[in-house]
């Protein structure tokens, strides 16, 4: 299992965020929100200066690209805990 993040941020913005927050997993840049749209996560004009951003969400996706578990929220402060993610991953085995 490999965690990663997808954001509309530029790679430079993501790199800065990762350094500040101490994140060590990959952050992918989806500047045109193609993947974000595919998963129906676009929050149109939800970012600074009316910029489109992704809704907060966590997914477990298997090797075939099938979503096996998801956590969606409207509040960016509410996220699945690492323990919840691990438990969801264990239940899929």
Domains and CATH numbers, the chain: 5-91 (3.40.30.10)
Determine the pLDDT at residue 69.
92
pLDDT tens for residues 65-92? Answer: 888 999 988 777 888 988 998 999 898 8
Q: Which two tokens stand for residue 85?
A: 């993610």
Determine the pLDDT at residue 54.
87
- List Cα–Cα distances, 83 to 4, 5, 31, 87, in angstroms: 16, 18, 30, 6
pLDDT (mean) for 8-15? 93
Which pairing describes strands 67-72 and 27-29: parallel, antiparallel, or unpaired? unpaired
pLDDT at 4 over 80: yes
Name the burial class of residue 56, with classes exposed (0-12), middle (13-18) and buried (19+) by CB atoms within 10 angstroms of its CB.
Answer: middle
In this prediction the pTM is 0.71
């Amino acid at each position: 299992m490999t965690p990663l993040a997808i954001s509309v941020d530029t790679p430079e913005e993501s790199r800065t965020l990762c350094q500040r927050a101490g994140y060590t997993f990959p952050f992918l840049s989806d500047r045109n929100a193609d993947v974000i749209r595919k998963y129906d996560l676009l929050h149109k004009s939800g970012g600074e200066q009316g910029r489109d951003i992704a809704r907060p969400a966590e997914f477990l996706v298997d090797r075939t690209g099938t979503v096996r578990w998801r956590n969606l929220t409207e509040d960016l402060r509410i996220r699945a805990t690492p323990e919840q993610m691990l438990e969801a991953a264990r239940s899929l085995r």
